């Protein structure tokens, strides 16, 4: 169980435990608030339309010391042609299970749950000052 201390979300997070394991997302404070950009795309992710630099998470807001709300990028491909149909952002929640590990739960798509572990932290000089430019603004789901 988590202590009463707030958790720190900015930093590098790696997806674990499923077919997209190995994907990494860097969470930084930008002019638009906290955002998470894909920094490592696995071969399986590429098959589903993901690219390096995609804006995976946006509108990240702390709700409690260990809980965040956000919009999570969802990519829909045509099942026959594998062409990109659309990119949307779906509501989701992050629940920290420890200071270094959290569960992200989609509030749509049947409550799909993914797990992420901390892979690195931002240097003090980078906190709150980095702005990122994603390769596209919104498009199967990670």
Q: What pLDDT score was predicted for residue 124? A: 56
Task: Measure the CA–CA gap between 114 and 53, rounded to whole angstroms.
Answer: 20
Does 4 map to a domain? no
CA distances from 124 to 11, 39, 61, 93, 119 (A): 11, 20, 21, 26, 16
Q: What pLDDT score was predicted for residue 52? A: 96
Does 108 map to a domain? yes
Does 3 map to a domain? no
- The predicted-structure confidence for 35-74, as pLDDT tens digits, reads as follows 999 999 999 999 999 999 999 999 999 999 999 999 999 9
Looking up residue 51, the CATH number of its domain turns out to be 2.40.128
Does 94 map to a domain? yes
Which domain, by its residues, includes 91?
Answer: 11-126
Does 5 map to a domain? no
Q: What pLDDT score was predicted for residue 132? A: 37
Identify the segments of the chain with pLDDT beneath 70: 1-4, 123-142
Q: What pLDDT score was predicted for residue 127? A: 41
């Amino acid at each position: 169980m988590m202590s009463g201390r707030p958790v720190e979300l900015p930093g590098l997070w790696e997806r674990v435990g499923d077919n997209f394991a190995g994907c990494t997302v860097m969470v930084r404070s930008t002019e638009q608030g906290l955002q998470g950009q894909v920094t490592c795309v696995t071969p399986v992710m590429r098959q589903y339309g993901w690219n390096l630099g995609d804006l995976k998470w946006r509108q990240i807001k702390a709700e409690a010391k260990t809980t965040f709300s956000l919009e999570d990028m969802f990519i829909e491909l045509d099942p026959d042609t594998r062409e990109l149909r659309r990119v949307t952002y779906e509501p989701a929640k992050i629940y920290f299970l420890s200071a270094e590990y959290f569960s992200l739960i989609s509030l749509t798509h049947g409550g799909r749950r993914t797990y992420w572990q901390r892979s690195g932290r931002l240097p003090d000089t980078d906190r709150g000052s980095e702005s990122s430019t994603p390769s596209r603004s919104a498009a199967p789901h990670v």
